[in-house]
Chain A
Amino acid sequence: MTAYIIRRILMTIPILIGISIISFGIMQFAPGEPTALDLDPNISPEDREAQLEEMGLNDPIPVQYLRWAGNILQGDLGSSFITNRDVATMITERLPNTLVLMITSTVMTMVVAIPIGIVSAIRQYSKRDYVFTFASFFGVSIPNFWLGLMLIIFLSVQLGWFPVGGVGTLGGEFNLFDRLHHLLLPALVLATADMAQMTRYTRTSMLEVKNQDYVRTARAKGFKEGKVVYKHALRNALMPLITMFGLLLPTFIGGSVVVEQIFTWPGIGQLFLDSTFQRDYPVIMALTMFGAVLVVLGNLIADILYAVVDPRIEY
């Protein structure tokens, strides 16, 4: 087991190297001088050359890559072309907002998907099961940006029930209710597709467990139905789901770009989109790497958790 975990961790290293080469490569092929905004257009060609030399941009590309990768490993993500601020600071400033959004969405997903999935599985082919199945098709098919737009138009703008965007009322003091009021719609939009997806997974997982011998044994022993379902079946049905939550991370990261844009939520996703519009390459590279690392970590955690919770798996 320990050997498996170590091997699994080692396997991520080539993946991370591959990711960093691709991120770096895209920026190398990007049109336009990466330093164009940094350099004064009026300086003489000699001075310009000297400046390029000083910034290390005349070095061979592999040397530039190694320097960039080395800096990243030391936590130095460079500084923004636009604001000249430290990229790592820019990310850490906005990270809490994105985390709040993602954690809320995760909780929403669990609270909605698991009970519905269980009910669907226990009452398979019942009317309720069909309704939930139908609803989950809606959830995975609805484009999140359109859902967000519609909620803003009807609930925020027309009915005035919710704020149009932002993390809290501007200029106001910290107020938990106000924060939650702002959080509800974006978190809901971010969670919609995953709620639907997780409902399906819970249902499938529960169906698989439902007819297992040990569930029948529990029933034969005369346990109440509730105890059979929640104590015997559910525990085993939830095991594969633990790993699914590790895989939610990528969809949340992708979704946060759209959701933060629509709800003007000052998080990582918005920073990323803003920097792509301004061609702020250091920020784009750092965030692409950051997102990819999170996805790799999510997969890693999912795999390790799976090994931990399911002792039947041999490695």
Chain B
Amino acid sequence: MDENQMKQEVKPPPQVTGAETLGKHESMLSIILKKFFQNKLAVIGLIMLTIIISSAIFAPWLATHDPNATSTLDRLAPPSAENWLGADHLGRDIYSRMLYAGQMSLWVGFAAMLSATTIGVVVGSVAGYFGGWIDGVLMRVVDIIISFPSIFLLITIVSVFRPSPEMLIIVFAILSWTGTARIVRSEFLSLKKREFVLAAQTLGLPKRRIIFGHILPNAIGPVIVAATLAIGAFIITESTLSFLGLGISPPTATWGNMLSDSQDLTVFLTAWYYPLFPGLMIFITVLSFNFVGDGLRDALDPRVVEK
């Protein structure tokens, strides 16, 4: 009985390899990178993202056609040596348009993520650090925004105001910072009671420096994960709106509005490749962000040990 109990208490977590890893001194970053690169899906995601992002950046050199050049003769032309992935209903080259669409879709995703994360981090830090009525008010605001079915509110706002891409990014950010704010707040609630915060306070450091210089770096892991997953989510939201004809309007190509133009029975019957490829790009891009986000989650979580 006693022996059993002893055994249980001493038993190390099953996956820790013991001597080999415990002996060496490794920096936090190298441990994280090592864990990340051991995750096959995460590495695949990272490679695919590199390809997709470079193809958007280098679109002017990779494109074979002007993305907006129409051609009556090439309407709904099937994939060929001339139009690698076929042509759309106005005879525009789908391959070239898709590259340029990637620029817009990725830009919206990244910019919205950065804005939403910034708002979320600031609100979450302030609420978590100060607590009390500040926390109460800020968290009620979060409750209200989170209660809206965001696609309903987005469609309402977008259809009423018809925003430019920049405005669209701001609207996305305003509606989507709440998740990050909650994550940061809960991290702050537990971190602010630690000794290093007390030490910083005792030294008389300004609050801003304690919050952003001392506590925030310790809470950044979950924020990075949420931000990575958010890019994928924003790309889906943007393409959903554009698909419904409410997001970014033509002739500027986005993966979503390319799909919107393809809703047509003739296309369905004869030109199935036209809606196939832009959608596939959204799918692969979002999938890659999810792979990478999941890999980062495991890599940044010290409770998940290497296998």
Contacts and interface: CB of A to CB of B under 8 A. Distances in A.
Interface of A: 14-15, 18-19, 22-23, 26-27, 29-31, 134, 137-138, 140-146, 149-150, 152-154, 157-158, 250, 253-255, 257-258, 261, 272-273, 276-277, 279, 284, 287-288, 291-292, 294-296, 299
Contact of B282 (A146, A258, A272): A146
Interface stretch (B96-104, B154-162, B178-186): B154-162
A29 B282 CA distance: 33
B259 interface: yes
Contact of B290 (A14, A141, A253, A288): A141
Interface in B275-300: 275-276, 279, 282-283, 286-287, 290-291, 294
A273 B275 contact: no
Interface centre among B41, B157, B160, B294 (most CB of A within 10 A): B160
13 contacts: A19-B147, A31-B160, A137-B290, A138-B287, A143-B240, A143-B283, A154-B272, A157-B269, A257-B152, A272-B152, A287-B152, A288-B152, A295-B149
Contact of B279 (A19, A149, A257, A272): A149
B283 A253 contact: no
B244 A261 contact: yes
B305 interface: no
B143 A146 contact: no
B263 A26 contact: no
Contacts of B291: 137
Interface centre among B147, B161, B269, B290 (most CB of A within 10 A): B147
Contact of B232 (A141, A150, A284): A141
A145 B243 contact: yes
Contacts of B240: 143-145, 258
Interface in B144-186: 144, 147-153, 155-157, 159-161
B244 A273 contact: yes
A150 B275 contact: yes
A140 B289 CA distance: 11
Interface in B118-150: 140-141, 143-144, 147-150
Contacts of B276: 150
Nearest to B279: A146
Given A14-B140, A19-B147, A288-B156, A145 B259 contact: yes
B290 A140 contact: yes
B155 A257 contact: yes
How extensive is the interface on chain B, given as a class? Answer: 35 or more
B275 A149 contact: yes
Nearest to B246: A276
A34 to B, nearest CB: 11
Contacts of A250: 149
B239 interface: yes
Contacts of B279: 143, 146, 149-150
B149 A253 contact: yes
A257 B151 contact: yes
Interface of B: 41, 140-141, 143-144, 147-153, 155-157, 159-161, 232, 236, 239-240, 243-244, 246, 259, 262-263, 265, 268-269, 272, 275-276, 279, 282-283, 286-287, 290-291, 294
Contact of A18 (B41, B144, B244): B144
Nearest to B140: A14
A43 B166 CA distance: 40
Contacts of B161: 29-31
Contacts of B141: 18
A146 B259 contact: yes
B283 A254 contact: no
Interface centre among B144, B259, B269, B279 (most CB of A within 10 A): B144
Nearest to A293: B147
Given A157-B268, A295-B149, A146 B286 contact: no
Contact of B155 (A29, A31, A272): A272
A153 B144 contact: no
A287 B153 CA distance: 10
A150 B152 CA distance: 24
A254 B275 contact: no
A152 B291 CA distance: 28
B274 to A, nearest CB: 10
A26 B157 contact: yes
A294 B147 CA distance: 9
Nearest to A154: B272
Contacts of A157: 265, 268-269
Interface centre among A22, A143, A284, A292 (most CB of B within 10 A): A143
Nearest to B235: A143
Contacts of B152: 253-254, 257, 272, 287-288, 291-292
Contact of A153 (B148, B150, B268, B290): B268
Contacts of A145: 239-240, 243-244, 259
A288 B236 contact: no
Given A143-B279, A146-B259, A276 B155 contact: yes
A156 B140 CA distance: 46
B151 A143 contact: no
Nearest to B260: A145
A22 B149 CA distance: 13
Contacts of B268: 152-153, 157-158
Interface centre among A141, A284, A287, A299 (most CB of B within 10 A): A141
